[in-house]
Structure 1
Amino acid sequence: MALTGQIAIVTGASRGIGRGIALQLGQAGATVYVTGRKPADSDAASENYLPSLEKTAKEITERGGKGIAAYVDHSNMEEVKQFFEKVERDHNGQLDILVNNAYSAVKTIMETADKPFYECRPEIWDDINNVGLRNHYFCSVYASRMMVNNGSGLIVNISSAGGLRYLFNVPYGVGKQALDRMSADMAVELKPKNVCVVSIWPGAVRTELITNMLDSQKTGGKTNEQMNIFKDGETTEYPGKAVVALASDDRRMEKTGRTLITADIGSEYGFRDIDGRDPPNLRSLSFLLSHSGYTHAAQWVPLWVKVPGWFLWGASSRL
């Protein structure tokens, strides 16, 4: 197994993308700490279709790794600090992989999806960016201290194309763009220490919450066109395959500071989703046309035709 003997932390891993990443890391042989809120405080307490943190840890072990469930409130920075101190003690300072994935605002985003920012309570900024940005910085600080001492490491920030163009709401986009900037700037300071930092953009991911919303038609104000993007999307384990590929690559430092799309990583390293498909690439011209309203034109464009990354960044520039 490629990651046997390595220690990994995946924050917010009881469900969704975090769970999928943790399972793939375990399948590759890693010891994986999965963090999440206590059962009474988690979404699984009210939504019985959601898996638990313990179930994730158990499945990691069943797949060949070692899963360790850790209750951490990522809105409480003292709890975050204590958790990293425990990992450091238990593994003599070893930490190889950190995946910053914790996010507590999915329901908030869906509930306010049809409202402009000025009609929402201003506190949704904190709902979205306390755990989704501030916490990631704290986790990265504590992880980097161990990785620098060991002379290697990988930090992955789970971000999205919402950092490039408007998506969902104002606080969401600001948080994601800041997270990508954080990856780039941390990479500058950590590159001499052989610690790689990247942002990963999954495509549309069929998480448990999204799948349930599609099945029940409860789309939180989103139109069918906006939700259809998820129907052909990635499974939660496809981003996990991307993280494993990077963690297993001895040349990953060549990518430090970059923002990487899961489908591009899949193409480079030659893996498919667990259902055997190649998910749509966010840079695919056909995909972009289809979800910009040009569905007829999209049918005539081959899936392999992709827009260069620099073009996407340039198109969003306000200079």
Structure 2
Amino acid sequence: MTESTDRTRPLAGRIALVAGATRGAGRAIAVQLGTAGATVYVTGRTTRAQASEVGRTTETIEETAELVTAAGGHGIAVPTDHLQADQVRALVDRIDREQGRLDILVDDVWGGEHLLGPSFGKKTWEIGLDGGLRMLELGVRTHVVTVHTALPLLTRHPGGLLVEVTDGTTAYNETHYRENVFYDLAKNAPIRMAFGLATELAPYEATAVCVSPGWLRSEQMLETFGVTEDTWRDAVAKLPDFAVSESPVYVGRAIAALAADPGRARWNGRSLDSGGLAREYGFTDADGSRPDSWGFMLAKEADPDTRVEDYR
């Protein structure tokens, strides 16, 4: 498929699937792809009729689809549990039937925050095994089921893009243990998936990358700090490093810019983050800033006097 020549809608005519688009990064990615003109299928388990185990009813996939359409794209909500291969197969069959192609696959499924909180500060063997294995199901198995089912459609036409979304870059994760074995595996697996699938996708002129947001001000994170997106700086008084956080819009713009780049194959197999992609493509967060969360965290470990202002 040829690249769009419309600079305001560079993804016009593109078909995208954002798996795990109910809230947070997934929602923002879907909306930004829509802003760029794409038709975006958005999936998740929370609908206006039913909530997932996360227990949040304030964000739904129907609302995400409406936001995509309001932004200038075409949003299509499809309730899907990505642990259920038959549901994912039905989803991909529907995209094939309605569009005949898939150009962008964003694998953002997670939904395990409620499992992570109780495990902080505990050894792996002190964590309930069922909860730990559930993290792996939500963070790894869902991703495997999704790519296994959707990549045949993505590779039907040259130029496809697979984006695995995780928490942490290779530069950070390779030197930092992420809380416990379960979470560490769940958040490193997408990096390895993108690395390996890059080799398999190259003959189809497709690109696979892994992208991480920085310290994300998701709906759940804002509630944890008792602030809103408008008042988030109030939390900096209690936790100064929160000043380097970013809104979900930032990673959404990162992936939209990546998808619109005809030279994106140069990133094939790479671990990327919103701050680094902002430097490359010149976009900013919603407030006009350009935070670099992972760069700040690594720099502060080397020099405790590192100023957060220098990474925003």
TM category (shorter chain) comes to: 0.7 to 0.9
Residues 171 and 163 (structure 1), Cα distance of their counterparts in 2 relative to 1, 3 Å cut:
farther
Cα deviation for residue 86 of structure 1 reads 1.3
Q: Does 1:210 align with 2:221?
A: yes
Cα deviation for residue 281 of structure 1 reads 4.0
Counterpart CA distance in 1 for 2:308 and 2:119 is 36
Cα deviation for residue 126 of structure 1 reads 2.5
User: Which residue, out of 8, 16, 19, partners 2:24?
Assistant: 16
Counterpart CA distance in 2 for 1:302 and 1:215 is 26
Cα deviation, 1:60-83, whole Å, max 9, x if unaligned, reads 101110011110012222211221
In the alignment of these two chains, the number of paired residues is: 290
Taking every aligned residue pair, what percent have the same amino acid on both sides? 32
Q: CA contact under 8 A between 1:11 and 1:18: conserved in structure 2?
A: yes
Q: CA contact under 8 A between 1:204 and 1:229: conserved in structure 2?
A: no
Counterpart CA distance in 2 for 1:141 and 1:215 is 40
Q: Does 1:298 align with 2:306?
A: yes
Q: CA contact under 8 A between 1:3 and 1:29: conserved in structure 2?
A: yes
Cα deviation, 1:245-300, whole Å, max 9, x if unaligned, reads 1111111111110111211100010010011111124124xx4343x4954x2149
Give the TM-score normalised by the residue count of structure 1: 0.84
Give 2:65's aligned residue.
57
Counterpart CA distance in 2 for 1:302 and 1:279 is 9
Q: CA contact under 8 A between 1:205 and 1:236: conserved in structure 2?
A: yes
The amino acid of 1:150's aligned partner reads: H
Q: Which residues of structure 1 form unaligned runs of 5+?
A: 217-223, 305-319
The amino acid of 1:255's aligned partner reads: W
Give 1:42's aligned residue.
52
Q: CA contact under 8 A between 2:82 and 2:146: conserved in structure 1?
A: no
Give 2:247's aligned residue.
235
Counterpart CA distance in 1 for 2:240 and 2:20 is 25
Q: Does 1:112 align with 2:119?
A: yes
User: Which residue, out of 85, 90, 97, partners 1:89?
Assistant: 97
Q: CA contact under 8 A between 1:129 and 1:172: conserved in structure 2?
A: yes
Q: CA contact under 8 A between 1:157 and 1:199: conserved in structure 2?
A: yes
Cα deviation for residue 22 of structure 1 reads 0.6
Residues 33 and 301 (structure 1), Cα distance of their counterparts in 2 relative to 1, 3 Å cut:
closer
Q: Does 1:176 align with 2:187?
A: yes
Give 1:195's aligned residue.
206
Cα deviation, 1:101-140, whole Å, max 9, x if unaligned, reads 0112111101221322111111223311212112212211
The amino acid of 1:215's aligned partner reads: G
Residues 100 and 244 (structure 1), Cα distance of their counterparts in 2 relative to 1, 3 Å cut:
same
Cα deviation for residue 43 of structure 1 reads 6.0
Give 2:291's aligned residue.
279
Give the TM-score normalised by the residue count of structure 2: 0.86
Counterpart CA distance in 1 for 2:86 and 2:79 is 13
User: Which residue, out of 250, 255, 268, partners 2:280?
Assistant: 268
Q: Does 1:129 align with 2:136?
A: yes
Give 2:298's aligned residue.
288
Residues 231 and 88 (structure 1), Cα distance of their counterparts in 2 relative to 1, 3 Å cut:
same
My pick for the range that moved more, 120-129 or 250-259, is: 120-129
Counterpart CA distance in 2 for 1:227 and 1:147 is 43
Residues 302 and 190 (structure 1), Cα distance of their counterparts in 2 relative to 1, 3 Å cut:
same
**3-state SS of 1:282 partner:** helix
User: Which residue, out of 131, 145, 150, partners 1:138?
Assistant: 145
Counterpart CA distance in 2 for 1:139 and 1:202 is 21
Counterpart CA distance in 2 for 1:108 and 1:27 is 33
Residues 230 and 18 (structure 1), Cα distance of their counterparts in 2 relative to 1, 3 Å cut:
farther
Counterparts of 1:143-154 in structure 2 under 5 Å? 143-154=150-161
Give 1:311's aligned residue.
none
Counterpart CA distance in 2 for 1:123 and 1:225 is 37
Q: Does 1:6 align with 2:14?
A: yes
Give 1:313's aligned residue.
none
The amino acid of 2:213's aligned partner reads: P
Q: Does 1:78 align with 2:90?
A: no
The amino acid of 2:29's aligned partner reads: I
Residues 226 and 105 (structure 1), Cα distance of their counterparts in 2 relative to 1, 3 Å cut:
farther
